[in-house]
Chain A
Amino acid sequence: GAVVSQHPSRVICKSGTSVKIECRSLDFQATTMFWYRQFPKQSLMLMATSNEGSKATYEQGVEKDKFLINHASLTLSTLTVTSAHPEDSSFYICSARGSESTDTQYFGPGTRLTVL
């Protein structure tokens, strides 16, 4: 149980385009979802927290207009990187937390974004 999927697993785009990454909880309802960014050989940095039906809460230094997060249902959250640039290239990971197990986050496999 507690499986989280992400799509796509890899994406390459041109500079200036927008990219959408999906995060789905497959077998539980995710009241809260988190988006992380991981640079090569570095740790995960929390970007934002989203609760279903509410606006996302962004961490300090994260541009909310650039990283649009939508959590429209209890099983789906999306991260859209708008007007992507090469410095946005990174590994993006989502996690989800359900209402029944509020002390544990379950992580997706991540999405590798490369901006040319």
Chain B
Amino acid sequence: AQSVTQPDIHITVSEGASLELRCNYSYGATPYLFWYVQSPGQGLQLLLKYFSGDTLVQGIKGFEAEFKRSQSSFNLRKPSVHWSDAAEYFCAVARGSGGYNKLIFGAGTRLAVHP
């Protein structure tokens, strides 16, 4: 069965520091992978997605993620974190016919940013 694991429940970084949020997936076929961010009072916003091609994916707000098939990972990175990046981050894999039909989410990683 498909699954997504985000090992870190909570991460705290200082503003300006680099960030890496881990995501591991279990999926039998070529995965369709997503990172979403959830801020209080707002809906989940898509940061980036990977379907195929270049394994380093650029997203919005300065985020990027790298797909590593050998490690079944899709880690999210940002070189310099801003205070406004404090939020909940979810990694997700799509399953079902067409590959993008249904999303399975990881448990999420809550990011806190110290000034």
Give chain A's interface residues, CB within 8 Å of chain B: 4, 6, 9, 34, 41-46, 49, 93, 95, 102-110
Contacts and interface: CB of A to CB of B under 8 A. Distances in A.
Interface residue tally on B, bucketed by range? 20 to 34
22 contacts: A6-B43, A34-B103, A42-B108, A43-B90, A43-B108, A44-B44, A45-B105, A46-B102, A46-B104, A49-B101, A93-B43, A93-B44, A103-B32, A103-B49, A104-B46, A105-B103, A106-B43, A107-B36, A107-B43, A107-B44, A107-B45, A110-B43
Contacts of A102: 98, 100
B51 interface: yes
Contacts of A49: 101-102
Given A44-B105, A103-B51, A4 B98 contact: no
Please provide the 3 A-B residue pairs with the shortest distance between their CB atoms, ordered closest to farther: A107-B43, A107-B44, A43-B105
A93 B90 CA distance: 14
A92 to B, nearest CB: 12
B100 A108 contact: no
B31 interface: no
Nearest to A42: B107
